[in-house]
Amino acid sequence: EVQLVESGGGLVKPGGSLRLSCAASGFTFDLYSMIWVRQAPGKGLEWVSSISSSSSHIFYADSVKGRFTIFRDNAKNSLYLQMNGLRVEDTAVYYCGREVRTPGYWGQGTLVTVSS
Amino acid sequence: DVVMTQSPLSLPVTLGQPASISCRSSQSLVHSDGNTYLNWFHQRPGQSPRRLIYKVSYRDSGVPERFSGSGSGTDFTLKISRVEAEDVGVYYCMQGTQWPLTFGGGTKVEIK
């Protein structure tokens, strides 16, 4: 069974940092591209970042470019999102997903709250 | 950026009746590899999104046959042949053809 489990969310002050993790199981992790998507409270879904299976192709939404870094450790079956320079508008539930163009599996999400 | 426009924003439906959601993209979603990466997701309150349809019309495993996707180019539709109580929630279309990936604003389906 495919499982994606996010962790690392929490309350952080504006300008602070957090690292989100996504632990994958039930599939051959290093064969799949991965994605981060977020959802602000009461709002819709917003793509954040994507990474190819070998980390050779990485993309970011303009809203996070230069502040967030996506990376993966295929040996640990894990995906990460390093978030620096956090802003109030980054407050959201962050989901990791398997595959980029047709994300078919999602984690349960981890809540990031940016507030002073 | 490709703008995904869903309509309606809200869809009150009667149990057992059909429902239809439209998704229009500002540019063609045909990828250079020949595929059209248009997905549909369903999200219930407090839950993660669940993919229902990928590449316009391919139904995911375990998704009831009452759900179907159609369309081409810039105009796509999700249809529910007979709405059941478990179908309430928000439906999103998403394009995976062009960067940045973009979602529609969502359609909230509720029972009348």
Spell out the per-residue pLDDT of chain B, length 112, in tens. Answer: 999 999 999 999 999 999 999 999 999 999 999 999 999 999 999 999 999 999 999 999 999 999 999 999 999 999 999 999 999 999 999 999 999 999 999 999 999 9
Q: What pLDDT is stored for residue B90 in this prediction?
A: 98
Residues in B 35-94 with any Cβ partner in A closer than 8 A: 35, 37, 39, 41, 43, 48-51, 54-55, 60, 90, 92, 94
What rounded mean pLDDT belongs to chain A? Answer: 97
Neighboring chain A residues of B102 at a CB cutoff of 8 Å: 47
Compute CA distances A82 → A13, A54, A72, B66, whole Å.
Answer: 15, 18, 11, 41
- Residues from chain A contacting residue B104 (CB–CB below 8 Å): 44
> What is the reported pLDDT for B11?
98
**Of all residues in chain A, what percent carry a pLDDT higher than 70?**
100
- The Cα B18–Cα B20 span in angstroms is 7
- Per-residue pLDDT band at A21 (split at 50, 70, 90): very high
Closest chain A residue by Cα to residue B107: A44
The distance between the two most distant Cα atoms of chain B, rounded to a whole number of Å, is 43
Residue A47 with chain B: CB contacts under 8 Å: 100-103
pLDDT band at A57; cut points 50, 70, 90: very high
Tell me which chain A residue has its CA closest to the CA of residue B51. Answer: A104
